[in-house]
């Protein structure tokens, strides 16, 4: 089928616009049944204006948000939350949530301040505003432990003379 440019009228502004042969081919490939109703400026104004006036997100799309009534795990007041609570997990009201969120950074800062500061001579100087991280003992090389070659050797059998002295 051969397509030719067609002139259509915009339903919003009433001006005429050209529905090109390439656009018609695109509409056929995508199996769109209807011709466009709006010119490009009105279409772009409609798509950007709709999001700006109604806001984005699920409410703009007509989807209602689930609200569940429950009690706060800390203070016990009745509150609504935008999710269905799961058993075993605490549910906080807005005020308790804010208090916990502000308490978390302060607790992390206090824990880092009370942690022992270890410095090694081979490490570079810390960057201003940061603190060095101590290396856990299990990751540090052990000085008194046997080497891997000794550790993997099968146990040797004791001769009768060695067995008597071992006891």
If you compute the radius of gyration of the chain from its CA atoms, what whole number of angstroms results?
36
Query: Which of 62-71, 109-118, 119-128 bottoms out in mean pLDDT, i.e. has the lowest?
Result: 119-128
- C-beta separation of 101 from 86 below 8 A: no
Would the pTM count as exceeding 0.85?
Answer: no
Report the alpha-carbon distance of residue 147 to residue 41 in Å, rounded.
76
Helix, strand counts (H, E) of the chain? 5, 4
- Going by C-beta distance under 8 Å and a sequence separation of 6 or more, which residues neighbour residue 22? 3
What residues form DSSP beta bridges with 17? 8
So where are the chain's domains? 6-54, 68-111
Residues 116-125: pLDDT tens digits? 655 545 555 5
């Amino acid at each position: 089928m051969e397509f030719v440019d067609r002139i259509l009228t915009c339903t919003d502004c009433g001006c005429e616009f050209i529905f090109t042969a390439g656009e018609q081919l695109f509409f056929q490939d995508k199996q769109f049944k209807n011709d466009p109703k709006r010119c490009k400026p009105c279409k772009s104004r409609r798509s950007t204006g709709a999001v700006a006036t109604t806001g984005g997100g699920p409410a703009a799309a007509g989807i209602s948000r689930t609200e569940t009534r429950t009690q706060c795990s800390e203070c016990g007041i009745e509150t609504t939350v935008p999710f269905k609570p799961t058993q075993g997990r605490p549910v906080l009201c807005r005020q308790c949530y804010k208090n916990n969120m502000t308490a978390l950074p302060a607790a992390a800062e206090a824990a880092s301040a009370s942690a022992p500061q270890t410095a090694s001579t081979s490490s570079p100087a810390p960057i201003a505003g940061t603190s060095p991280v101590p290396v856990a003992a299990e990751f540090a090389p052990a000085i008194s432990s046997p080497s891997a070659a000794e550790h993997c050797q099968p146990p040797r059998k004791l001769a009768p003379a060695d067995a008597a002295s071992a006891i």
